[in-house]
Amino acid sequence: MLIHPMPNPIAVQIGPLAVHWYGLMYLLAFAQFIALGRLRIRQPHIAAAGWKKEDLDDMLFYGVLGVVIGGRLGEILFYNPAYYFANPADMIAVWKGGMSFHGGFLGVMLAMWLWGRKRGHQLMDIMDFIAPMVPLGYAAGRLGNFINAELPGRPADPSLPWAMIWPNVDNIPRHPSPIYQMLVDGILLFILLWFFSRKPRPRMAVAGMFSLLYGCARFFTEYFRTPDYEVHFGPVTISAGQMLSVPMIVLGIVLLLIAYRNPQAPKPAAQVR
């Protein structure tokens, strides 16, 4: 039986300065955003839409604010409001983990809208551009969750080769759900979306595909994760993560329908007023 290694959440400590693994995963996420962004700008249809590598650094600054502020607010409001309002000092303790992807998604949309107003890009063109660069960053965050021994899975059949005991929870074999979400919601989604976005697509198609695929992937992997809480709709019970994924599925379908019923090419920034 596998046992979670429970590594020290602090990767490096020099005197009072402590660098946490969770923070390093976010640095990795932001670094891959820049690296993938440079590759994406080399694609002819992306360059033709007016994207330049100079856009990436400024966009990343806004994106970091959107991810951190939105992700933390989502964790506070969507998942653990009672705890955080009882312990307000922990609201800013992001190094302990606890970031909501759905909150971060909303935060990034707002940040990109603000950045687009300054640089003359429309929101949906920005979302189409950045969508393929998001899943690997998400995967890095889930690896950080695993290192922090967060988000334990539901009980698993002991015969499952990778069933794992989480000593900080109990002695019951469980699914390593952060690894599932890293692989499915992150790496698999990246592969599918990267290949989809390599060819010219109508406006909103890439963003719509991301929203649809992530919502479906997250809805599936939530079956293996211990729910933060569950929501009952008559005889149907779903987890909080599944409930928050349903709007993303609906949004993705709507965006794809609009994109392919009335195809439009992305608008270069110079054409936006």
User: If you write DSSP's letter for every residue of 193-212 in order, what string do you get?
Assistant: HHHHHTS---TTHHHHHHHH
* Annotated binding-site positions: 142
6 occurs within a structural domain: no
186 occurs within a structural domain: yes
The pLDDT, as a whole number, for residue 273 is 42
List per-residue pLDDT tens for the chain, 273 residues long.
799 999 988 888 888 888 888 889 989 999 999 999 999 999 999 999 889 888 898 899 899 889 888 888 888 888 888 888 888 888 877 666 677 888 888 899 999 999 999 888 899 999 999 999 999 999 999 999 999 998 999 999 999 999 999 999 999 999 999 999 999 999 999 999 999 999 999 999 999 999 999 999 999 999 999 998 898 888 889 998 999 999 999 999 999 999 999 888 777 665 444
232 occurs within a structural domain: yes
Query: Would you give the DSSP letter of residue 153?
Result: B
**Token pair 């990436």 in the structure block, residue:** 56
The pLDDT, as a whole number, for residue 97 is 62
231 occurs within a structural domain: yes
Range list of H helices, the chain: 21-41, 44-48, 54-74, 81-86, 101-119, 123-130, 134-147, 177-181, 189-197, 205-221, 240-261
The contacts of residue 211 (CB under 8 Å, 6+ apart) are 248, 249, 251, 252, 255
**Token pair 């309002």 in the structure block, residue:** 85
The pLDDT, as a whole number, for residue 114 is 93
239 occurs within a structural domain: yes
5 occurs within a structural domain: no
The pLDDT, as a whole number, for residue 22 is 83
What range does the domain containing 108 cover? Answer: 16-271
Number of compact structural domains in the chain: 1
The contacts of residue 147 (CB under 8 Å, 6+ apart) are 7, 9, 21, 22, 25
250 occurs within a structural domain: yes
d(CA 85, CA 232): 25
- The pTM for the full model equals 0.87
**CA-CA-CA-CA torsion sign (99, 102, 103, 105):** positive
2 occurs within a structural domain: no
The pLDDT, as a whole number, for residue 270 is 55
